Structure formats: structure tokens, C-alpha cells
Amino acid sequence: MDASLNTPPAPTVIQRADYQPPAWLVPEVTLAFDLGTEQTKVVAALKVQRNGQSQTLRLNGDGITPEAVLVDGQPTNDWRMDGADLLVELPGDAHEVSITTAINPAANTQLMGLYASNGMLCTQCEAEGFRRITFFPDRPDVLSVYTVHMQGSKDLFPVLLSNGNCTQQGEGPGEGVHNATWHDPWPKPSYLFALVAGDLVANQDTFTTMSGRKVDLGIWVREGDQDRTHHAMQALKDSMEWDEETFGREYDLDLFNIVAVSDFNMGAMENKGLNVFNTRYILADAETATDLDYDGIEGVVAHEYFHNWSGNRITCRDWFQLSLKEGFTVLRDQLFSQDMGSAAVKRIEDVRVLRAAQFPEDSGPLAHPIRPDSYQEISNFYTATVYNKGAEVIRMMRTLVGPERFRAGTDLYFDRHDGEAATCEDFVKAIEDGAGIDLGQFRLWYSQAGTPRVTARLDHADGVATLTLAQSVPPTPGQGEKQPMVIPLRIALFDPASGTHQGEQLIVLDRAEMQFAFPGFARRPVLSLGRGFSAPVAIDAEISDEDLVFLAAHDDDPFARYEALQQLIVKHLLAVLDGALTDAALEAGRGAIAAAFAAVVGDRALDDLMRGELMILPGEGYLADQLLVADPGAIRKAREGLKAYLGRSLEAGLLALHDRASAVPYALSAEARGARKVKTQALALLAAGVPQRAADLAAAQFDAADNMTDRQGALMVLAGLETPLRQEKLAAFLARHAGDPLVIDKWFSLQAGSLHPQALDHVKALAGHPDFTMTNPNRVRALYMAAAVNPGVFHVASGEGYRMIGELVRALDPINPQTAARFIAPLGRWRRIEPLRAALMKAELERIVAQPGLSKDTFEQASKSLG
């Protein structure tokens, strides 16, 4: 056999610089769907208008064939296929082109385009799914007014939904069939099209907008799930009100519908007037959802709603501009959640996500700027960089000008570009003009990849404190040389004697090296730098353990306080990993951390939500990221060793904390949620230090639990322990929640993510469990993503973890390439892992790339990871 047959065709690389305006526009489109699970017929009538010189209309397709092509109502032969695309020759400037296609939703396992999920039909079109439904210029800068006719079986599809407003409903054609027409007056790109047909019931409510418009709200779910939609509905109403108050944005249709779907590749989708959600971001009650689930629902409902302006009214010119809508909308949902709950804890959580998910992207083979320059498959760019770092970049603009001027900038942006397909540059320009700031150099954040490193040193002489800062941006693929960035840093200088400071200041580091002088300090002050995480950078400050202990106890900025404790632990663990610590130094380091933890556990002024946050040790991935070459086994050992020390030395305090928190009854208040959080954090430390004691306590918490947060927290701890209680409670959990997919996901996930020494064997066994399926992305992620980010499973020295993920990718790629490609990144870290493991990881990537017929999603990620 010729080896070249195994090589995929050279993939097309799409460049941002090659952008051309569309040759033809489609101001109006009418879609007629004759719905069926196995066969759906689609007739698309496009009013097209020439927008350039070309007489050839290019309509994108993917896996579909035209059954009929009409131009101005007449059959035509003036068309041909170019790969998957349909080309139609048109003589004049304006025509109506009508195309008939037939699709099989039941066979669509990619879950892109129109697909079947538990008997219901639904769509997912972002980024390029619409071309799997019909032929169309499937690009975000072609905006059309949509009218959608649907007909289908009343039995199978009693509810028929699409974007906009329902303008007609009726019986027929024929026995047992009904139909509906939907019209969306707002021009939109094809990726925002949505259709849902199924047996659904709604939780209905209304919202009156600031100008007095009454909007009907509906959250559509399966019969029996209505009672679990109240939190999502409240989040929706809160979001609508918040966006009016905070950004002056009002909703613009008479209807807003949300549909929850159990088979979904992502979290949710902001289709105009008809958001489609993964069930996990809609359904919640105390019995089945954790406090984190509640937060996730609130954040995602808000995020998708906010897209109505930042994404839908103003969309992206092309997919390179994805951060225009995603970075801005993530910032908007973060600010919303800060206002709804604890702003301090929300900020810390967001930073933890950034460090766990985005920093590794920035330091790995898939590093890209928030506005990428090229891609093979756009689905691969729905990344933490585009989303979360994108949000940080816009947050920095807000920090630089303050909230009021920032609002003037966003007002101008919404005014200036409403109804357009815009670019990141349009956004930056609007903030510049509206807020009155020069963002010339700041634009580097859009083009340079990599996490900037800032070094800091504070000197003190003659009553003057001098801060010396230097920055560098590490090289990333395709970008060897970097220019200095604009880095806003919020700082405070504490008087160590009084424990206070004279006010926070904002300084801006915009050159390679700078000095800032602060007179009036008789004593050397303690430096608090990067307060509120004011820039997405890594800071190496020359700061003593003594100063870190001081800040961990006294800093009035909650993030800075958290960060000081984290830094203290990171410094200690890196020294342990370095292997150069004497026994005395090891003991002293642990002792200092235990003292700081004891202060946190016992600090009466702290609320429990914040206390719980402070009790979380830096993650293994974050620790690995601090090292040029990491040994994941050694990191686990060092981190667990410290936890064990803390669990033993703080046993009494942790038991007392657990005891106190256990007396707080279930409620959604901050106090009760905080109590649940510290309970599980206390258990996690005790489990490392005094496992038998912790097992009994966890089992008791499990048995007494009247809510999922307590039950899952206890089970998570038990799942990592060698105890008969482990099996007993796992079985009880499964029996209690049989038939509830979202909870069964948790059951898979907490075993795959556990600290148990045999966790890898557990994952392998779970893959054969009757509740496991490869066709549901939530289930696949619950088992395998939890395993891939658990160093105790993924990085076992034998390489079995890599082999397991590699096999998963190869098996999943033909079913669902988008989800399969997401599993490449953990293997792609091989350059930063010790040589023996690195070789095994690389070999697995090579096996993946060699697989015949690999999707371009997976091929792009795997080949780039090999470098």
C-alpha cells in the first residue's frame, strides 16, 4: 500500500489578511422545512444582490447535494459543484435563487446543522453549520431577513420554534400535520439561524423593558423538567434588567425563547430570539445541581442574552473577529455575575479559569493571539484565549479609562455599528473615540500571543520607595520577537506597622523596563501589585515570604490577599520540586503556610465564600506551567504532601469549621453557600492528612445531605480514598439519581477526576458502563475530559493515560470531530513534560495524525501540536 494514501490532503489555511467583501449579498431568505427525523426537506429561496464584479454566486455546502436549482422561478442548468460548494451563474444584478435539499437529522452525529436529539429536532449553526442544512453564503458578513415555514407531524413535533416572532400557525397539509411561520425582522448572519421542533413544555414569564415593551419569555424543556427552570428564568430576567442599567441595552423582539437540549457540543448558542442551551446550563434544583451549577446557569444565561447586542445586533465581519463578540460578552457576563453575587470570589474564580485554561494555551504549541491570523478549522478557535483572555483585554481598557468613560466608549460602539458586521479594530476605535484614550500601542494585545511576564523589585532608600518593573513576552509559534505591551497595574504600598496603605494607584507599564518612585515612606513598605488581577500577565516579584504572609493576612484587595497566599504556596512547592530544601527549610516552609491557613480558617471577619476560595491550593496544571519542564508525578506528590501536612496540623480547626458549617441549613444565600463550600474544602484537606477520619466524616455528610453540593462534595472526597465507603456511596449515588443524565455525568466525572491511585483503572472500567455513550458530548466530556485533566490518570508513568486519550480521539473523530479535537490540547503539552513521558505523548499524537480520513478539526490540532 502506498503510504501517501494515508496522508490527508493538504488542508486549506484561511488567512485574515485575505478578507474580501462578499461578491453577492442576500437581503432576504425564505426557508421552508418539511420536517422528519430521518428525512427533512428544505427549500431555500434567496433574494440575492450583486455586490461586486463576479457573475458567479458561490453558495457554501457541506455534505449536501442540490435536488433542484431555480433562478427567478425557472429551472436552470447554469450551476456546478466546486468541491462541496454550489456555484450558480447569474447574468444580472438581482435574482431569486431557490434550492432544494434533503437531509437526515438522525444520522447527524456531528451535532452541527440540523440534528435529532431524543426525538426532537434542533439546529446548531455557529460557526459553519448552516451549510449542512442548505447552500448559502455561510459567512457572518452576509446579513439577511429570515422567514421560516415549518411543517411536520403534530405527534412528533407539537412545538415548532424559530427566530423572531411567530406570524402564523395552522393545520395541515394533510392528516396529523401542522405548520408554523416565523419571521425575524432583524437582519442576521446564517450562523444565528435556529429551528427547534419537538415535544416540549415551557416555563413562561414576561419582562417589561425600560421603554415599556412587554416581552414573552419561554424556557422550553421536556415534560417533567419545568420545575428545574426557575433559576434560569430568574437569571434571564436579571440579565435583561442589568443590561439596560449597565450598558443601556434593551431587548428588541416580542418573544425570547430558550430551548434546553441534552445532546449539544457546547454550553449554549445565542441564536436571535431562540437561544439553544445544553441542558446542564438550564436545569437546576437543590437535589440535582451544585452551587457551582447554579452559578454556571446564571452566567451562561446572561452570556447568551447579552449576545443579543454584542454579537447579534453587531456581529463579526469574519471569524478572525470572534473575540469581538466573545471577549466582550464574556466580560459582560463576568461583570454581571460580580454584581449578582460576591464580586471578590467571582474575580478569583475567573482568574483561576484563565490560569488553568488560557495560560497553558499561551505557552503551548496552539498559542494564538485573541484575534488569530490564520486557521484551518474555525471550530478550533473557540478557545480560552479568544474568550477569556479576550475578556481580560477589554477589562484592561475599562481599567485604564474607568467605568464611566468605558460606558461612553461602548455606547459609541453600539451606536456606530448597530446592524453591521464589525471588526475588533472597530471596537477598539469606538472605545478610543468614546472614552478619549489613545489605544495605539494597546492594540498589540490583539496581535501578540503569549502571556507577558513582568518582573518587579521594590527598593527603599532615603524615604523613597522605588519600584522597578520589566516586561517580556515569550516567543510563540510564528512570533519570535515581541514588542512591549501596555500593562495596567493596580498597586498599593502597605505600611507594615499599621497594616494600612494610603490609597491604591494605577500605574501603566508600557516599556520594556520602567521605574516608579514613591516618596514619603520612612519604613520600607510592603508591595501589593496587580491588585484585582488588573492585567493577564504572570508576575515574578522579588518579595519575601514574610511580606507574602503579611499580605495574605492584611491585604484589603481580596484578589491580592488570595494571590499572596497562592504565591507563598507556589514558591514553597517549587522549592520542594527543586529538591534542594533541607529538612529544616521544608519544615519552616510548611509551617509558614500552615500558620497562614490557620489564620484563614479562624478569621472571623472573613465570609465563608471567600474563606473557601483561600483554602484551595494552586492547581497541578498551574504549578506545571511555572516550570520549563514538569514532572507531573512529582508535582502531585509535592502538592498532596503539603495538603496532608495541612490536614494533620490543622485537624482540630478543620473539624470545628466543618462542624460549624454543617449546622447551617440549606439556602441559596451567600452565607449558606459559603458554609457548603468550606465544608468540602475542609474535607479535602482532612482526606489528605487523616484519611480514615475524613472518610467517616464524608460518609456522614453524604448521608445527611439534602442537596447536591454537599452530596457531591462528600462523594468527590470518598472517590479518592481507599475505603469500603467509597463503593458503597458511589452505588448509592447512582441508584438515587438513575435516569437523570446531568447527575450521572457528575458520577462519571468525579471518579475520573479523583485522587484515587487506581483512578485510571476506574476510567477504563467506566468506559464499559451501560450508561456510557460516545454519542453524547456531555457524557464523553464527563468521563474523558475529567480524566485528561487529572494528572493521576493522564500522566501515569506507563503512558496508558495518553494511549487511552489517543484511542478516544481516534474513535470519536468520525462521530463528532469538534469534540474529538478538544482532547488534543492535553497531549500537545509534551514539550513541557519530562522526556520519558514527552516521548509517549508525542508518539500518541503521531498515531492520531496517521489515522486515515482524519477530520480537519483534529488534524489541525494534532499536526500543530507536533510542530
How buried is 394 (Cβ within 10 angstroms: 0-12 exposed, 13-18 middle, 19+ buried)? buried
What does the DSSP 8-state code read for residue 828? G
Q: Is residue 638 a contact partner of residue 590, using CB atoms and an 8 Å limit? A: no
Rounded to an integer, what distance in angstroms lies between the CA atom of residue 260 and that of residue 229? Answer: 10
Among residues 198, 222, 177, 179, the alpha carbon closest in space to that of 115 is found at 198
The owner of cell 454579537 is 311
> How many residues make contact with Zn ion (CB under 5 A)?
2
Buried b (16+ CB within 10 A) or exposed e, 767-799: beeebbebebbbbbbbbbbbbbbbbbbbbbeeb
Q: Between 423 and 712, name the residue whose CB sits nearer to Zn ion.
A: 423
SS percent in the chain: helix, strand, coil, step 5: 45, 20, 30
Provide CB contacts within 8 A for 552, sequence distance 6+.
561, 564, 565, 568, 596, 599, 600
Rounded to an integer, what distance in angstroms lies between the CA atom of residue 41 and that of residue 68? Answer: 12
- Nine cell digits for residue 739: 435516569
Q: Is residue 160 a contact partner of residue 200, using CB atoms and an 8 Å limit? A: no
Q: What is the DSSP string of 670-684?
A: HHHHHHHHHHHHHHH
Give strand pairing partners of 45: 30, 98
Among residues 60, 160, 178, 57, the alpha carbon closest in space to that of 113 is found at 60
Helix (H) / strand (E) element for 179: namely strand 177-188
Among residues 256, 281, 257, 255, the alpha carbon closest in space to that of 268 is found at 281
Q: Is residue 840 a contact partner of residue 802, using CB atoms and an 8 Å limit? A: yes
Rounded to an integer, what distance in angstroms lies between the CA atom of residue 318 and that of residue 322? Answer: 7
> Min. distance of Cβ 408 from Zn ion in angstroms?
24
Q: Between 293 and 326, name the residue whose CB sits nearer to Zn ion.
A: 326
Rounded to an integer, what distance in angstroms lies between the CA atom of residue 259 and that of residue 87? Answer: 35
Q: CA 257, 252, 318 angle in degrees (round to 5)? A: 85
For strand 120-124 and strand 113-117, is the pairing parallel, antiparallel, or unpaired? antiparallel
> Min. distance of Cβ 299 from Zn ion in angstroms?
11
**Is the preceding omega at residue 127 within 30 degrees of 0, hence cis?**
yes
**Is the preceding omega at residue 360 within 30 degrees of 0, hence cis?**
no
For strand 85-89 and strand 274-278, is the pairing parallel, antiparallel, or unpaired? unpaired
> Min. distance of Cβ 274 from Zn ion in angstroms?
15
- Nine cell digits for residue 253: 423582539
Provide CB contacts within 8 A for 703, sequence distance 6+.
none
Cα–chain center distance at 813: 21
Cα Rg of the chain, angstroms: 28
- Nine cell digits for residue 325: 463578540
Rounded to an integer, what distance in angstroms lies between the CA atom of residue 791 and that of residue 832? Answer: 14
What mask of x and - would describe binding to Zn ion in positions 293 to 332, judged by CB under 5 A? ---------------------------------x--x---
Provide CB contacts within 8 A for 241, sequence distance 6+.
207
Rounded to an integer, what distance in angstroms lies between the CA atom of residue 569 and that of residue 583? Answer: 17
Q: Is residue 821 a contact partner of residue 861, using CB atoms and an 8 Å limit? A: yes
Rounded to an integer, what distance in angstroms lies between the CA atom of residue 821 and that of residue 855? Answer: 9
For helices 632-649 and 558-578, angle between their N-to-C axes, nearest 10 degrees: 120
Buried b (16+ CB within 10 A) or exposed e, 744-765: bbbbbbbbbbbbbeebbebbee
Active-site entry in 126, 304, 844, 860: 304
Residue 482, number of CB atoms within 10 A of its CB: 18
304 is catalytic: yes
Rounded to an integer, what distance in angstroms lies between the CA atom of residue 825 and that of residue 768? Answer: 25
Q: Between 192 and 690, name the residue whose CB sits nearer to Zn ion.
A: 192
Q: Is residue 197 a contact partner of residue 189, using CB atoms and an 8 Å limit? A: no
Q: Residue 428: phi, psi to the nearest 5?
A: -60, -40
Give me the residues that bind Zn ion (CB under 5 A), please: 326, 329
Instruction: List the catalytic residues.
Output: 304
